Amino acid sequence: MKKELPEKFRSYKHVWVFVELERGKVHPVSWELMGEGRKLADKLGVDLAGVVLGPKSDETRQAIKETYHYGADVCYICEDPALADYRNEPYTRALTDLVNTHQPEIMLLGATTLGRDLAGSVATTLKTGLTADSTELDVDDEKSLAATRPTFGGTLLCTIHTLNFRPQMATVRPRVMAMPEPDRSRSGRMVWHSLKMDEADIVTKVLEYVADATTDDANLAYADIVVAGGMGLRVPENFRLVTRLADVLGGEYGCSRPVVQKGWLPADRQIGQTGNTIRPRLYIAAGISGAIQHRVGVEGADLIVAINTDPAAKIFEFAHMGVVADALTVLPALADAFERRLGRRAMAS
Amino acid sequence: MDAPETPTDGLNIVVCIKQVPDSAQIRVHPVTNTIMRQGVPTIINPYDLFALEEAMRLRDQYGGQVTVLCMGPPMAEDALRRALGLGADKAVLITDRRFAGSDTLATSFALATALTRLGADHPVDIVFTGKQTIDGDTAQVGPGIASRLELNQLTYVSAIDTLDQGKGEIVVRRRAEGGVQVLKSKLPCLITMLEGSNEIRRGSVADMLRAARAELTVWSAEEAGVEDVMMCGLRGSPTVVKRVFAPSARDEQAEMVTVEGKQPAQIGDAIIDLIFAAQPKLEADLSAALN
Ligand SMILES: Cc1cc2nc3c(=O)[nH]c(=O)nc-3n(C[C@H](O)[C@H](O)[C@H](O)COP(=O)(O)OP(=O)(O)OC[C@H]3O[C@@H](n4cnc5c(N)ncnc54)[C@H](O)[C@@H]3O)c2cc1C
Ligand SMILES: Cc1cc2nc3c(=O)[nH]c(=O)nc-3n(C[C@H](O)[C@H](O)[C@H](O)COP(=O)(O)OP(=O)(O)OC[C@H]3O[C@@H](n4cnc5c(N)ncnc54)[C@H](O)[C@@H]3O)c2cc1C
């Protein structure tokens, strides 16, 4: 299977991370990738670069600065009004032109709606390999990117390589990698690029942007504390016990997939392989059996506490703490106990 | 085999559908920890049904025809027949041993080639795909087809607001990370449809009967228009799967809270003691955040 890397790709060098800047804000997955990219670059002995595309603005400048703080040595920058809102055409053009000009060996993007839209186009235009939703990145003895991802249903993992093409591309979902500590003293080189495209050449126009209402919006992926319930809660009304404990702790609530399938909670509350990946400091799972598809979404939690009536439940195989008891009793008891412990003010909130 | 006839007016729409194993019935072998695919029924990738329904709605409103296109083994004919039973007009299966082992780049090559052949007489106006599949789950094939055919790419579409056939203009709602983009674009375009955007209709009895008898168009690589088979299947796939393995078990056991003879309040306190013992910083941070 293995051939020599074609001559034209031998000059491809350095690790790139696409910095996802949308409406003035950098998606945190970009910094998580920067942390991983730094490790790969150090292993290969090459530079880590961030690619920042956006309009000329203070926010774009801020994104560039932070790209260095999170580990980049170089920033490739394209500033153009046509890059103000994400659209596939100008973004694909800018990124493929940059790759063809500066020739990175590895390129990482977040597996967000933006990152997946862009990565699929760029990889096809460049005719190279793209591994989706990687959960682990490494370089092997032959300096080839080894991207590991769950295979069917998450029951097995597979490691995918792009041996004979460059760049080697991979996407990673938010919260799968740890957020690195920024070093605010770092800075680096800037390389400018111009978008060889006019607004008049771009077919697709953004007529409007409707921001999601921020009130009842689930932000599970970035919550410090998550309380979730599964089918063990039996009826939808019992989810009040889950939301109350989450409220007491100032955290988010979620659930397993069958709870969503039953229509008890909306899809954005689902945790697991086909829902949110979470990485909280504390995860409390009540009445959840701990199927592999649920497990892969919660394994990044610092502390997992499971409440389940069945001592043989799979969840106890990866939880850090377990309680074999009825969740309908333990959840309210736990909420009361936290209120007592954390002081009266918490009760009011 | 000839290409199916294309309409002379109305929209020429193609929906790409993939046949996948029914995940709800997938079982893992308890000893070897491998997936047991034998005897697992196959279904149309559930995400593709939203694309199919949206395509049929446009056809019902503007006229034209909906062709379903699938790359897969001969048995993928089942998926195509099901789509006909739901109301699709024509079905094309591209099947060839040389397609085996395709990654997303090779898959988008094969599908884009067949789409070019399908549009030879009457250009394709809209290509629909699902958001992603439930097996490969990469969401890369839609963008791949759009790039190859230079179609305007509209992913994660939750609704088609307007379509002006005369001007060839389309307005859609696209799910972005923190909100929804309302995008105006032009035909021909490729749309990947978001789940929950509509509900697949029940096929009529007439459609069911037609589906059972219908003659499908079945193309080999050459018949689909592939000139260079090196771009298909395993040979046309830049990604290489090097290793497949089971996730490792965690070494330590969960620390169990004893509940025997305790009141609920005592159990609550016992759990909190353990949590704060394991995460000493959490108590201070929580108190600070909440007070
Ligand atoms: C392709 C694929 C993708 C999937 N993706 C996901 C995903 O993203 N997320 C996900 O969660 N699942 C996912 N699943 C489903 C997964 O396999 C499980 O079916 C699901 O996680 C089970 O949900 P559950 O634990 O709530 O329910 P069950 O498995 O029914 O478990 C209920 C648990 O509650 C316990 N219990 C009962 N009564 C009580 C009580 N009074 N107090 C405490 N405990 C009690 C029981 O002992 C049991 O362990 C996926 C499956 C497939 C095939
Ligand atoms: C566990 C697993 C992991 C994989 N990982 C990767 C990877 O990281 N990178 C990679 O390049 N390949 C990967 N592959 C290979 C990939 O699944 C195949 O290339 C597959 O043919 C298409 O990709 P997909 O299933 O991810 O489709 P997606 O890109 O998720 O599908 C999007 C849409 O494209 C259409 N579509 C997809 N396939 C077909 C088809 N055969 N016929 C008609 N329409 C279709 C459907 O409308 C579908 O909804 C993986 C395969 C498996 C089983």
- Nearest CA residue ID for atom 52, ligand 2: B136
> Which residue of B28, B268, B291 is in closest CB contact with A334?
B268
Contact A152, B135 (CB under 8 A): yes
Task: Give yes or no: residues B70 and B198 share one domain.
Answer: yes
Taking the alpha carbons at both ends of chain A, their separation in whole angstroms is 61
Confidence of residue A2 (pLDDT cuts 50, 70, 90): low
Is there a domain that residue B260 lies in? yes
- Nearest CA residue ID for atom 51, ligand 2: B136
Helix (H) or strand (E) holding B24: none
Answer yes or no: do B144 and A124 touch at CB < 8 A.
yes
A287: pLDDT strictly greater than 80: yes
Window 62-101 of B: residues touching A by CB (8 A cutoff) are none
Measured in angstroms, how far is the CA atom of residue A327 from the centroid of ligand 1?
14
Is there a domain that residue B4 lies in? no
Task: Give yes or no: residues B42 and B175 share one domain.
Answer: yes
Joined tokens for residue A239: 């989810």
What pLDDT was estimated at residue A343?
Answer: 76
Answer yes or no: do B179 and A323 touch at CB < 8 A.
no
The ranges of chain B with pLDDT < 70 are 6-8, 23-37, 248-251, 291
Q: Which residue of B has its CA nearest to A131?
A: B239
Q: Which residue of B has its CA nearest to A302?
A: B279
What pLDDT was estimated at residue B40?
Answer: 81
Is there a domain that residue B167 lies in? yes
Q: Which residue of B has its CA nearest to A166?
A: B238
Is there a domain that residue B241 lies in? no
Is there a domain that residue B86 lies in? yes
Interface test with A, best of B135, B145, B240 (most A CBs within 10 A): B240
> Which residue of B21, B183, B250 is in closest CB contact with A317?
B250
Amino acid identity of residue A76, one-letter, is Y
Q: CB under 8 Å, gap of 24 or more: what pairs does A53-62 form?
A: A53/A19, A53/A21, A53/A77, A53/A78, A53/A83, A53/A91, A53/A94, A53/A95, A54/A21, A54/A79, A54/A83, A54/A84, A55/A79, A55/A80, A55/A81, A55/A83, A55/A84, A56/A80, A56/A81, A57/A24, A59/A21, A59/A24, A59/A25, A60/A21
Task: Give yes or no: residues B146 and B277 share one domain.
Answer: no
Task: Give yes or no: residues B43 and B157 share one domain.
Answer: yes
What pLDDT was estimated at residue A153?
Answer: 59
| Percent of chain A scoring above 90 in pLDDT | 82
> What CA–CA distance (Å, rounded) separates A344 from A248?
11
Joined tokens for residue A349: 């909130």
Task: Give yes or no: residues B193 and B284 share one domain.
Answer: no
Q: What residue ranges define each of the domains in chain A, with the CATH number in brackets?
A: 7-201 (3.40.50.620), 220-348 (3.40.50.1220)
Joined tokens for residue A260: 């969503």
> What CA–CA distance (Å, rounded) separates A229 from A238?
9
Q: Is the CB of B239 under 6 A from ligand 2?
A: yes
> Which residue of B105, B182, B256 is in closest CB contact with A324?
B256
> What CA–CA distance (Å, rounded) separates B197 from B187?
21
C-alpha separations of B13 from A167, B66, B79, B149 in Å:
34, 5, 18, 15
Confidence of residue A348 (pLDDT cuts 50, 70, 90): very low
Is there a domain that residue B5 lies in? no
Identify each DSSP E strand in chain A by its residue range.
15-19, 21-22, 25-26, 48-54, 74-79, 106-110, 130-131, 136-139, 145-150, 157-162, 168-172, 189-193, 205-211, 225-229, 252-255, 282-286, 304-307, 321-323
Confidence of residue A212 (pLDDT cuts 50, 70, 90): confident
Cis check for the bond before B238: say yes or no (omega within 30 of 0). Answer: no
Is there a domain that residue B118 lies in? yes
B142 neighbourhood in chain A, CB within 8 Å: 120
Q: A296-337, pLDDT tens digit by residue?
A: 889 889 999 999 999 999 999 999 999 999 999 999 999 999
Answer yes or no: do B153 and A88 touch at CB < 8 A.
yes
% helix / strand / coil in chain A, to the nearest 5? Answer: 35, 25, 40
Task: Give yes or no: residues B69 and B210 share one domain.
Answer: yes
Measured in angstroms, how far is the CA atom of residue B138 from the centroid of ligand 2?
6
CATH number at residue B125: 3.40.50.620
> What CA–CA distance (Å, rounded) separates A216 from A1?
51
**Residue B233 φ/ψ, nearest 5 degrees:** 60, -150
Q: A184-194, pLDDT tens digit by residue?
A: 999 999 999 99
User: Nearest C-alpha of chain B: how many angstroms from A188?
Assistant: 29
> What CA–CA distance (Å, rounded) separates B19 from A293?
22
| Shortest-distance atom of ligand 2 to CA A160 | 8
Joined tokens for residue A26: 């950098």
- Structural domain of residue B285, as residue ranges? 250-291
Answer yes or no: do B271 and A330 touch at CB < 8 A.
yes
A349: pLDDT strictly greater than 50: no
Using CA atoms of A124, A127, A128, A134 in order, give the dihedral in degrees to the nearest 10. 10
> What CA–CA distance (Å, rounded) separates B121 from A186?
59
Angle at B38 between CA B36 and CA B39, to 5 degrees: 120
Side-chain-side CA neighbours of residue B209 (13 Å): 3
> What CA–CA distance (Å, rounded) separates A241 from A228?
10
Task: Give yes or no: residues B39 and B61 share one domain.
Answer: yes
Q: Which residue of B has its CA nearest to A217?
A: B178
Task: Give yes or no: residues B132 and B259 share one domain.
Answer: no
Answer yes or no: do B265 and A131 touch at CB < 8 A.
no
Measured in angstroms, how far is the CA atom of residue B72 from the centroid of ligand 2?
11
Is there a domain that residue B274 lies in? yes
> What CA–CA distance (Å, rounded) separates A321 from A127?
48
With tokens 């330590």, the residue in question is B252
| Number of structural domains in chain B | 2
Joined tokens for residue B216: 């499908």
Instruction: Name the burial class of residue B257, with classes exposed (0-12), middle (13-18) and buried (19+) by CB atoms within 10 angstroms of its CB.
Output: buried
C-alpha separations of A203 from A337, B154, B186 in Å:
59, 12, 7
Q: Which residue of A has its CA nearest to B30?
A: A155
Answer yes or no: do B175 and A129 touch at CB < 8 A.
no
Which of B2, B171, B14 has its CA nearest to residue B83?
A: B14
SS3 state at B226: coil
Ligand nearest to the CA of A257: 1
Joined tokens for residue A150: 């769950």
A346: pLDDT strictly greater than 70: no
Taking the alpha carbons at both ends of chain B, their separation in whole angstroms is 74
> Which residue of B140, B265, B275 is in closest CB contact with A130?
B140
Side-chain-side CA neighbours of residue B248 (13 Å): 3
Task: Give yes or no: residues B271 and B162 share one domain.
Answer: no
Joined tokens for residue B110: 């094969």
> What CA–CA distance (Å, rounded) separates A96 from B169?
27
- Ligand 2 pocket test, pick from B96, B98, B107 with the greatest ligand atom count within 8 Å of Cβ, gives B107
> What CA–CA distance (Å, rounded) separates B15 from B31?
40
What pLDDT was estimated at residue A175?
Answer: 85
Which of A258, A282, A257, A200 has its CA nearest to residue B286?
A: A282
User: Nearest C-alpha of chain B: how many angstroms from A114?
Assistant: 7
With tokens 């000329």, the residue in question is A56
Helix ranges, chain B (H) = 46-62, 77-86, 104-118, 141-149, 205-213, 221-224, 264-278, 280-290
Q: A127-164, pLDDT tens digit by residue?
A: 999 999 998 999 998 899 999 998 765 667 899 999 99
| Percent of chain A scoring above 70 in pLDDT | 95
Answer yes or no: do B245 and A114 touch at CB < 8 A.
no
Task: Give yes or no: residues B102 and B73 share one domain.
Answer: yes
**Residue B74 φ/ψ, nearest 5 degrees:** -50, -35
Task: Give yes or no: residues B215 and B289 share one domain.
Answer: no
Task: Give yes or no: residues B137 and B276 share one domain.
Answer: no
A345: pLDDT strictly greater than 80: no
Q: A213-254, pLDDT tens digit by residue?
A: 754 556 788 899 999 999 999 999 999 999 999 999 999 999
Instruction: Name the burial class of residue A6, with classes exposed (0-12), middle (13-18) and buried (19+) by CB atoms within 10 angstroms of its CB.
Output: exposed
What pLDDT was estimated at residue B39?
Answer: 75
Q: B45-68, pLDDT tens digit by residue?
A: 999 999 999 999 999 999 999 999
Measured in angstroms, how far is the CA atom of residue B147 from the centroid of ligand 2?
16
Which of A315, A322, A324, A323 has its CA nearest to residue A297?
A: A315
User: Nearest C-alpha of chain B: how many angstroms from A125?
Assistant: 6
3-state secondary structure B89-125: CEEEEECCHHHCCCCHHHHHHHHHHHHHHHCCCCCCC
| Percent of chain B scoring above 70 in pLDDT | 91
SS3 state at A58: helix
- Ligand 2 pocket test, pick from B13, B18, B45, B237 with the greatest ligand atom count within 8 Å of Cβ, gives B18
